[in-house]
Structure 1
Amino acid sequence: MADYKAPLRDMRFILNDVLDVAAHWQKWPELVDQVDIDTAWAVLEEAGKLASGTVAPLNRTGDEEGCVWHDGAVKTPKGFKDAYSVYAEGGWVGVGGDPAFGGMGMPKVISAQVEEMINSASLAFGLYPILTAGACLALSAHASQALKEQYLPNLYSGVWTGTMCLTEAHAGTDLGLIRTKAEPQGDASYRLSGSKIFITGGEHDLTENIIHLVLAKLPDAPPGPKGISLFLVPKFLIGEDGSIGERNGVSCGSIEHKMGIHGSPTCVVNFDGAQGWLVGELGRGLNAMFTMMNYERLGVGIQGLAAAERSWQSAREYACERLQSRAPSGPQAPEKMADPIIVHPDVRRMLLTMKALNEGGRAFSSYVALQLDTAKYSPDETERTRAAGMVALLTPVSKAFLTDVGLECTVHGQQVFGGHGYVREWGQEQLVRDTRITQIYEGTNGIQALDLVGRKIVANGGAYFRPFAAEIRAFIEGAPAEQGEFVAPLAKALETLEDLTQWVVRRAESDPREIGAASVEYLHVFGYTAYAYLWARMAATASSHQDEFHQNKLATARFFFARLLPRIHSLEAIVRAGSETLYLLEDDAFRAT
C-alpha cells in the first residue's frame, strides 16, 4: 500500500477558496480571538504529519494482530498505546474541545479535517479519540458544572477515554426497549445494572480510565424513549482530589470477532451495581445523547471518506506502475513490454469515480461542519436557527451517503489492483472490510434514510429542505454565463430533487409505506445533488486559475457532471415506482418451507 499523504492542498482549497471559513470566524465573537487561518493551517499540517508518520504505519499491523480479550481485560495491538500517548500529548483529543477545560477550541470545520486524516491513517485507531470527543460534547452541553470540572480536563487531554453505551442485545434502533436500570441512592448518585453490547472502546489498555455514557431507566420510568436517562459511569471511581480510586462495578464480558476494524475492541460491557451520575435531566437521556450522536454521525461519514481517500492514493499509484497490455489507441510506453494500466478506459473510470466522490465528499463534509459551527457560534439568532435546520437535514445524508459511496470507492480501489487487491499484501481488502461497518453503526444507513425522509422531509412538509434548495437556486441565479456547463445540470438536478420531494410528501399522505420504500434512493438523489452543488462551487472557483491543480479540479468536475450526476435519473425512477412491488409477496413467502 502507498504511504498515506494528507490531502492538505485540497483541504486548503475547500476551506479557503470555496467556503472562505475565515470570513465566518471574523464575524463570530467566540472565535475571532480563538482561531485564525494561519493557526488553523498550522494545526492541520501538524495533524497531517501525525497521521502519516505515527498512525498510518500501524494500520496493517493493527488489523493483523487485532485486540485480545483475556479475563475481562483487553490488550490493543502493538504500537497503539504509544501512538495514543503521542496523540494525547499533542492535545489532539481535545482539538474541538472547550478551552475552559483544556480543549484547543478549534471549530468543527477544522476538527473535521483532523478526523479525516487520522481515520485515513487508521480507521480502527481513529475510533478511540472520536468517541472520546463525542462524549465530551455531550458532557459539555448537558452535564453539571461539577461533572464538567471533574471529567472534561482528563478527557480532553487524552488521559481518559470515553464511550457511548446505548445498544442492548434486544434493543438496537428501538432504544425505548432498553432494560438497563438506574437506582437512585439518595446522594445524587445512581447504581446501574444491565448489559450493553457493541460498545466501541468499552475496554482497552490505552488510558488509565474509561468514562462510559450509559442510557438507562429509573425503576419508575415510563415505557418507551421518554423514560430514558443518561448517566456517567467511570471504569474507576474518582477521588475528591481527582485521583483514581477503586474499580467500579463495570466489566468487559467479551469482545466481538469482526469483519474489520480489528484494532478497535467492540465490547460487551456489564454494569453490576456500578456507581453513576445523571447527565442532563431525568427522562431526557436521548436528547443529551443525540448531541453526541449528531457529531458522531458526521464523523462516521468522514470515516467513509477517509477510507476511500486512502484507497484512492494506493490505487492511483498502482495504476501508474502496473504494466498490462497496450492502450486502445496504441502503445504509450513503447520502450516497455506493456503500458501502465492507467491508460485503460475502465481503470480511468474507476479512478475518476473515486477522485470525484472523494473531493466532492470532502467539500460536502466541510460544508456540513460549517453549518454546525454556524449553529453554535453565530451571534445572529436567525442565522443560528437556519443553520440548525440545515444540520438536522444534512446529518443523515452526511452519514449515509458518505459511507455508501465510501464503500463504493474502496471496492473500486480494490478492483484496480485486480487479484492483488483481494490478497492482504496490498492493504486494499482491509479498507473494504473496515469501511463496511460505517454503513452500520451510529444508526444503519437505512435508518438514516428513514430519518431524512420521514422526520426531516415528510413530517414538516419539506420545511427543512426549502432553505437548502433556496441557497442552491441563489447560487444558480448568480452564476455567470460561462459557468453554464456546470450550472445547467445542477439546475436540472435541483428541479428533479424538488419534484421528487413534493411527490414523496404527497404519496406519504395516503400510504405511510411510501416513506420507507422511497427513503434510500431518495437520500442518494439528495446526496448526488448536494455534491453537484459543491462541485459547481469548486468549478466556479477553479475556473479563474490556470495552474495544474485548478485545471485538474475542473476536469474532475466535468467527469462528475457527465458520469456520476446522471445516476439520479435511475434513482428517481425507483422512488416513483412506489411501495406496491415491495408487498406483492405475502410474509409467508419469505419463510422457509
Structure 2
Amino acid sequence: MTTYKAPVADTLFLLNEVLGYERHANLPGFADAPADMLEAILGEAAKLAENVVHPLNRIGDVEGCVRNDDGSVTTPKGFKEAYDQYREGGWMSLAIPAEFGGQGLPYTLHSAVGEFFSSANMALMMYPGLTQGAIAAILEHGTDEQKQTFVPKMVEGVWTGTMNLTEPHCGTDLGLLRSKAVPAGDGSYRISGQKIFISAGEHDMSENVIHLVLARIEGAPEGVKGISLFIVPKFVLDADGNPGKRNGVSCGSIEEKMGIHGNATCVMNYDDAQGWLIGEENGGLKAMFVMMNEARLGVGLQGLSISEIAYQNAVAYARERIQGRSLSGPKAPDKKADPIIVHPDIRRNLVNMRAINEAGRALVLWTALQSDIAHRSDDAAARQAASDHLGLMTPVIKGVLTDKGFDNAVAAQQVFGGHGYIEEHGMSQFVRDARIAMIYEGANGIQALDLVGRKLAQNGGRAVQAFFKEVGDFCEENRADETMAPLTKALKKGLNDLQAATMWLMQNAMAKPDNAGAASTDYLHLFGLVALGLMWGRMAKVAQNRVAAGDATALHEAKLVTARYYFERVMPESAAHLARISAGCDSMMALAEDAF
C-alpha cells in the first residue's frame, strides 16, 4: 500500500518566500486568500487528498471502470463518494469567477492544490480536470446564454465536461477529422461521427456530461480551416435548463489501457446528436486551443504529481529496506545490514528525483502566477509579458515535466528492486499511470516542435528573449556573491548553451527544416534544464539569505544542498543537448526507409 503526504510546507515556501505571493494582493482574488488563509486552504486540500482521495488509487487501478449493457459506465468503488466530497468542498470552483458560481481565488492556488489531488489519485482527478478545461473554453468563446446555461452547473460539479478531438484515423493532424455537423434549422446542429480516447466520456459521478466536440459543418473547407466546435450534452436540457431526454451520444466501449484504469477513457459515438456551435463557424481550432492549453498545463502538473508520490514512497522504502553495508563502513552496526539509503546509487536516484520535483513545482507555480497576471492585471504591459511567458512555458512544462515524471517513476521503482515490479507495492501503477502523460494532449514530440517551430519566433522572439534576459540578469546580480557564484556560474553555462542552440537553429533550420525536427526534443529539454535551473537559483538565493540572517530552517538547509546537486550533476547535461542539436539531421535522416 502506497502512502502520500502533500508537500504543504514546500508549497508555502515557494509562494511566500520565492514567488512573493503577497506582492500580488492588488490582483483580483489575491486579497481574498491572504497568507493565513492560504495555509488553511492548502491544509484542508492536503487532508482530503491524503485521507480520502489517495486510499482509492489502488482500488481504481485494480477495479477499473465497467461499461454496462445499457451503455452506462460504473466507476470504481468509492470514486463517486470521493468526488462528491471534492465537489461539496468547493474545490472545483476555486479559481472560477464569482459571477458563474466560483470563488474567484487565484489560479496559482488552484494549481497548488491541483498537485496534491493529482498526486493522490491521478485517474480520479481527471474527471474534474477535464471539466476545468471545458469551462475555460466556454467562458472564452461561448455566448452569454451558453455561459449562463452550462458553466454554473459545471462549476458546482454536478455536471462534468470533456473534450472530443481524436478519431480512429485522426490524432495530431486534426485536419483529417470526419465528424460532421448538419444545421437542423432551429439554431442547433446534428452531430455524427466517432471519437476515441475520450477521458471521462461516460461515468456515474455527475448528472450530465457536457461534451465539447470538434466536427466539420457540411460544405466547410477541408483541413483545419473547416473545423468547428460544438457543445453536445449527454442529456439535452429541458425548458427549465435541467437534463431532459438522452441525446444521440453514447459510449461504445472503454479503452483497455496500460494505466489510469480508474478513468473512463471512452470510444464515443455521435449519432445525429443535438449540438450547439460554440465560437465562430470554422473557428473550432481556436476555441479548442483554449481548452488544450489549459489541459497541457494540467498534464504537466500530472507529471510532477506522479514524480512526487513515487519519490515519497521510494524514500520511505530506502529508509526501511536493509541490504548490504555502506562502502564507507557500517551505518547501522546493531543490525545485520544497513538501510539502502546509505548507498550512493540509491542516493543518486532519490536526490535526482527531489531536484526535479522541487524545481518543477516552482516552475509550475511561477507559470500559474503569470496566468493570474495575464488574466487579472490592469497593467497592459504586465499582461503581455505574462501572456508571453505562458505561451513559451506551456510546451516546456508539458513536455519536460511529463518526460521527467515518467523517468522518476521508473527510478523510484528501481529503488524498490524486485519489489518494485510486484503490483502490491504500487510502484508499477505509478510507472503505468505516468506513461500516458507523455502522450495525450499533444505527444511530447509535438510539444518540442511547438516550442521550436512556433514559440521561438512568435512576436519576433519577444518571449524567448525576455526569458534569456531574466536568467542572465539573475546570474549577473548574484555573480559577486561568493556563496551563490558556483550556482550562477553553472546556470550561466546552461544559458550559454541554450542561446548557442537557439542561434544554431536560426542559422540552420530555415534552409533545412529537418534540422529543426531533429533538434526539437533536445532543445525542449535544454530549455527545461535552464528553466528549472533558474528556479533553483531563486530558491537557493532565498535559502542563503535565511542562513545569513540566522533564521534558516531544515527546509532552507536542504534547499541549498539540493540546489548544489542540481547544478553539479544535472545542469551539465546542457552540453550534451547542445552537441546533439549542433550535429544536425543528416545521420538521423540518412537511412533509407527499407533499411530500418
Q: Compute the TM-score of the two structures, normalised by the length of structure 2.
A: 0.97
SS of match in other structure, 2:453 = helix
Shift of 1:260: 0.2
List aligned pairs for 1:440-519, cutoff 5 A: 440-458=439-457, 462-479=461-478, 480-482=480-482, 483-519=484-520
Shift of 1:275: 0.7
In structure 2, give the amino acid aligned to 1:544.
N
In structure 2, give the amino acid aligned to 1:588.
D
Shift of 1:34: 3.9
Among 56, 66, 69, the alignment partner of 1:68 is 66
In structure 2, give the amino acid aligned to 1:70.
N
Structure 2 residue aligned with 1:556 = 562
Q: Is the 8 A contact 2:409 2:430 kept in 1?
A: yes
Q: Is the 8 A contact 1:414 1:429 kept in 2?
A: yes
Q: Is the 8 A contact 2:30 2:106 kept in 1?
A: no
Q: Compute the TM-score of the two structures, normalised by the length of structure 1.
A: 0.97
Q: Is the 8 A contact 1:167 1:197 kept in 2?
A: yes
Structure 2 residue aligned with 1:578 = 584
Shift of 1:385: 1.0
For 1:459 and 1:325, the matched residues in 2 are separated by 55
In structure 2, give the amino acid aligned to 1:580.
D
For 2:384 and 2:221, the matched residues in 1 are separated by 32
In structure 1, give the amino acid aligned to 2:48.
L
In structure 2, give the amino acid aligned to 1:31.
G
For 1:43 and 1:247, the matched residues in 2 are separated by 38
Structure 1 residue aligned with 2:549 = none
Structure 2 residue aligned with 1:304 = 303
Q: Which runs of 5+ in 2 are unaligned?
A: 547-551
Shift of 1:363: 0.5
For 1:2 and 1:260, the matched residues in 2 are separated by 16
Tell me which moved more, 486-495 or 342-351.
Answer: 486-495
Runs of 4+ in structure 1 over 4 Å off: 458-461
Question: 1:62-87, CA deviations, whole angstroms, 9 ceiling, x for partnerless residues?
Answer: 10011111221211110101111111
SS of match in other structure, 1:463 = helix
Structure 1 residue aligned with 2:336 = 337
Tell me which moved more, 236-245 or 574-583.
Answer: 236-245
Structure 2 residue aligned with 1:410 = 409
In structure 2, give the amino acid aligned to 1:174.
D
In structure 2, give the amino acid aligned to 1:557.
A
For 1:477 and 1:544, the matched residues in 2 are separated by 17
Structure 2 residue aligned with 1:19 = 19
Question: 1:487-517, CA deviations, whole angstroms, 9 ceiling, x for partnerless residues?
Answer: 1111111111111101111101210111110
SS of match in other structure, 2:228 = strand
For 2:29 and 2:80, the matched residues in 1 are separated by 33
Tell me which moved more, 437-446 or 292-301.
Answer: 292-301
Question: 1:193-235, CA deviations, whole angstroms, 9 ceiling, x for partnerless residues?
Answer: 1111100000111111100000111101111111111110000
Structure 2 residue aligned with 1:523 = 524
Structure 2 residue aligned with 1:184 = 183
Please, what is the CA RMSD of the aligned residues? 1.2
For 1:41 and 1:200, the matched residues in 2 are separated by 32
Shift of 1:460: 5.6
For 1:32 and 1:79, the matched residues in 2 are separated by 34
Q: Is the 8 A contact 1:143 1:279 kept in 2?
A: yes
For 2:84 and 2:170, the matched residues in 1 are separated by 35
Structure 1 residue aligned with 2:43 = 45
SS of match in other structure, 1:464 = helix
Shift of 1:40: 2.6
Question: Structure 1's 306 and 32: CA in aligned 2 closer, same or farther, altered over 3 A?
Answer: closer
For 1:128 and 1:37, the matched residues in 2 are separated by 30
Question: 1:291-320, CA deviations, whole angstroms, 9 ceiling, x for partnerless residues?
Answer: 111111011001010001101110101101
Structure 2 residue aligned with 1:109 = 108
SS of match in other structure, 2:270 = strand
Structure 1 residue aligned with 2:118 = 119
For 1:587 and 1:317, the matched residues in 2 are separated by 48
Shift of 1:547: 2.1
Q: Is the 8 A contact 1:161 1:211 kept in 2?
A: yes
SS of match in other structure, 2:236 = strand
Structure 2 residue aligned with 1:218 = 217
Structure 2 residue aligned with 1:421 = 420
For 2:410 and 2:529, the matched residues in 1 are separated by 19
Q: Is the 8 A contact 1:457 1:505 kept in 2?
A: no
For 1:145 and 1:42, the matched residues in 2 are separated by 35
SS of match in other structure, 1:215 = strand
Q: Is the 8 A contact 2:30 2:105 kept in 1?
A: no
In structure 1, give the amino acid aligned to 2:512.
D
For 1:401 and 1:33, the matched residues in 2 are separated by 33
In structure 2, give the amino acid aligned to 1:342.
I
Structure 2 residue aligned with 1:35 = 33
Shift of 1:162: 0.3
For 1:52 and 1:552, the matched residues in 2 are separated by 24
Shift of 1:31: 2.8
Q: Is the 8 A contact 2:543 2:556 kept in 1?
A: yes
State the identity as a percent.
52
Shift of 1:139: 0.7
SS of match in other structure, 2:333 = coil
Q: Which runs of 5+ in 1 are unaligned?
A: none
For 1:123 and 1:2, the matched residues in 2 are separated by 14
In structure 1, give the amino acid aligned to 2:527.
F
Q: Does 1:97 align with 2:79?
A: no
For 1:323 and 1:211, the matched residues in 2 are separated by 52
For 1:575 and 1:27, the matched residues in 2 are separated by 43
Structure 2 residue aligned with 1:544 = 545
For 1:240 and 1:565, the matched residues in 2 are separated by 60
In structure 1, give the amino acid aligned to 2:463.
Y
Q: Is the 8 A contact 2:129 2:298 kept in 1?
A: yes
SS of match in other structure, 1:273 = strand
In structure 2, give the amino acid aligned to 1:359.
E
Structure 1 residue aligned with 2:154 = 155
Question: 1:358-415, CA deviations, whole angstroms, 9 ceiling, x for partnerless residues?
Answer: 0011011111111211111111111111111111111000000000000111111000
Structure 2 residue aligned with 1:142 = 141
Q: Does 1:369 align with 2:375?
A: no
For 1:100 and 1:182, the matched residues in 2 are separated by 32
User: How many residues align structurally?
Assistant: 588
Q: Is the 8 A contact 1:217 1:228 kept in 2?
A: yes
For 1:280 and 1:35, the matched residues in 2 are separated by 33
SS of match in other structure, 2:161 = strand
Structure 2 residue aligned with 1:401 = 400
In structure 1, give the amino acid aligned to 2:487.
F
For 1:210 and 1:189, the matched residues in 2 are separated by 18
For 1:555 and 1:394, the matched residues in 2 are separated by 27
Q: Is the 8 A contact 2:414 2:420 kept in 1?
A: yes
Shift of 1:39: 2.7
Q: Is the 8 A contact 1:300 1:399 kept in 2?
A: yes
Q: Does 1:7 align with 2:7?
A: yes
For 2:558 and 2:458, the matched residues in 1 are separated by 42
For 1:83 and 1:200, the matched residues in 2 are separated by 18
Q: Is the 8 A contact 2:2 2:426 kept in 1?
A: no
List aligned pairs for 1:258-297, cutoff 5 A: 258-297=257-296
SS of match in other structure, 1:486 = helix
